[in-house]
Amino acid sequence: MTYDEELAHRVRALLADEHGVTEKRMFGGLAFLVDAKMAVAVSREGGLLVRADPEQLDRLLTRAGARVCVMRGRQMAGWLRVDDNVLRTKRQLESWVTRAVSYARSLPTNRSR
């Protein structure tokens, strides 16, 4: 299964005016990096992988369609999986993408790159 091209196009459109955004194929999906830090990805399993402040995860997990991101049987700290059925409108998608970009921008830059 490949990632949802239409969802990727919608994310790309939301990020069009953001500086420092790059795309990279990762984990069978398409990741969007902000200042070289992964912020959000269109998942090959459907929906999004969203980077979020770990201190806000419990609250975010109460939102419809959001759950802990698990890869290879392991919970990914600071990451949520958001189902595509709650990303149908621009407003719904923008809420998650904006949150992910904001959090990624708040992280320190890796100087070794």
- Where in the chain are the domains? 5-106
pLDDT at 73: 87
Where does 5-106 sit in CATH, by number? 3.90.1150.30
The predicted-structure confidence for 37-56, as pLDDT tens digits, reads as follows 999 999 999 999 999 999 99
In this model, does residue 112 exceed pLDDT 60? Answer: no
The tokens describing 66, both together, are 């959001």
Q: Do the beta carbons of residue 97 and residue 10 sit within 8 Å?
A: no
Distance CA 113, CA 10 (A): 29
Task: Give tens-digit pLDDT for 47-94.
Answer: 999 999 999 999 999 999 999 998 888 888 899 999 999 999 999 999
**pTM: predicted TM-score of the whole model, two decimal places:** 0.90
SS3 percent helix, strand, coil of the chain, rounded to 5, is 35, 35, 35
